[in-house]
Structure 1
Amino acid sequence: MEAQRSIRDCWLAVNLSGLVPGMGQCYGGQWAKGLLVAGIFFGMVSHALWSLLAAEGNTVRAFWLLGAAGLVYLLNIWDAFATAGRPLYPLGNRQQGQDVWYGVFLSQILPGLGHLYLNQAVAGALFLAVGVGLSLMANQQPVLMPLSCTVWSIAGYHAYRSAPMNPGRDYSRSRQMLMVVVVSGLLLRLGIGSLPMWVDQAVMQCIVPSESMVPTLQINDRIFVSRDRLYQPQTGDIVVFKVPPEAIALVDAEPDDLFVKRVIGLPGQQIEVHDQQVWVNQIPLAESYLSAPTDYQWGPEFVPSNAYFVLGDNRNESGDSHIWGFLPQANIIGKAYKIYWPAGRVRSLQR
């Protein structure tokens, strides 16, 4: 009897570790290993996200870490299968024809697969069509994402309830674990599905379209822009903004274009350009980021309230405030804080 109690269902362990790495090992009684696996996996993922999104982080390292985390995840699933002890039905219940938790596992991969394994072609085809269809539609209509996640979870639950049961077994404990798997799976899918939206609300991705910010930014540099409604630009910040109406005709821009320039003058400051130098409140501005001196004259003028004076680092080839005027604060999307690609140009834009 004692040996019988130690038996764990390997496919339930796989389901658990598929949801939370290390959870299947804990279910198999190896808590130290399970917590170690969870710590390694989530440590890698956390550091990868920091490396990707933080100004000081290295994007290339982030990709390596995500790849390593994926390998740990797969090894974790394989180890959960082995850790659970003698599997009840490693390749299916020969007496009943199917293994209940294997069907649930297949449904976690793709809704309907578990039903096809259970020889329920109609239900499998229905779940497959609805689940995959909603997932594809959710890419265009994010409001459908919770419904898509719910269908995937229901597919796993229904696969379990549809499987033939052994009359001699007590399934009360198994049904409790089913609710853990279904609810955890739903929450996990909702979290992963919402992550891009959460990130997009905080960080915007842009591609540099011109040479106006050379040498700081090159054409096709991919940059992260911080979205912060409370952001107050400071001198030297690189900002991304919607093109002002005055600039559309003067620099041949489209209304939906985004510009990237450097903040030079703040509200209330006097700006003047002469003698190959920018002067702020009659004090020369140190600009180590320029590759060539400014060869035009402008001003003096005071920057209006709720507006900024912005220039490109490629000072003589930039369509900026010296051509079309001051930038309204309302047009600013956020501060560019990092070049995240190409790999050889990854760097922070913080000053």
Structure 2
Amino acid sequence: MAILHKTLLSSLLATSLLSGVALADQKEESHYRDLHDTPWATSSIQKLYNEGMLRDFKDAVFLPAKAITRAEFVSLLSNAIKEEVELKAVPFHDVNPNDWFYESIKKLYSMGMIKGVDENAFHPEKAISREEAAVIAAHAFGYSHKGNPPLYKDYKQISPWARSSVAALFEHDIMLGSNQHFRPKDSLTRAETAVLLHRILHGSPPTYAPPPQKTPSKEIKKVPSFKKKLVKNVNMLLETPYRWGGATIKGFDCSGFTQYVFKELGVELPRTTREQFKVGKIVSMKKMKVGDLIFFDTGKGYISHVGIYMGDKKMAHVGSKGVKIDKLDWYYKNYRVVGIKRIERK
């Protein structure tokens, strides 16, 4: 089994998510004009593009929602492996020596990292599923699983042969899914591939502001769908355990929870409660709307807790027992409300 190192950037510079597209010149800044629907991947795409690892189609588009094929994903990893391999004959009738992906598939097949959809077919042009990509990435980069299974609500939908690999990438914060779902049968997209690769090589992506859009920013109250999505996302995270310093579905602290919820909606928040209090617009209790952040001093003399107002005098937050929705009355009586902030959409 080959274990890749995080020093493989030089070999990755020559590879691409898609074949047959000329390498774009490396630039300090690039302008992808189609990233507005994938803000969670923007910083990863931007960084990998700046390093020359990703390329775009014409007209400065990245096509982040486009599925990556099995051949493209295998080629991406194959070009990064410098290990000498004793090559074996490829048994797949749909992988021929004249195909651009032939050597890549032959190499990873010889290393025992990939299999076909059956003994005689690989289906190179078929979109790779998230669970298939997890298995290949876990084997290629040497990730193993030691802890408990991840708390995905669709865990039983993950194929038995993929569960240990999915758990390994979850344990190492490589593939985390969203809203407590892994979506194993879904196709892996170009955006998801960029995030996966960024996490393997660099760790979690930094906060990155998407390119300015033509439409002006709008407050929550002007975007009805924002409220609906926020409530849905919060409900999906209920009962996620408390974890000090946590900001993933493995576990949250209070500000990690608010940051995660808003990031899923395309809004970047700072990491800590005190930093989050510095952004947004101050509103009064009487004018609170769903999605407003409520900041408390729990007796420590400074901002030490934050929750999301859910309407009906309730807030979603993280307590000692995890993510929950509580009535605000008790918190008003026992804690000091430092302020309420309304966060604008970007």
Query: TM-score if structure 2 supplies the norm length?
Result: 0.29
Which of the pair is proportionally richer in helix?
1
Query: TM-score if structure 1 supplies the norm length?
Result: 0.28
Which of the pair is proportionally richer in strand?
1
Larger radius of gyration, structure 1 or 2?
1
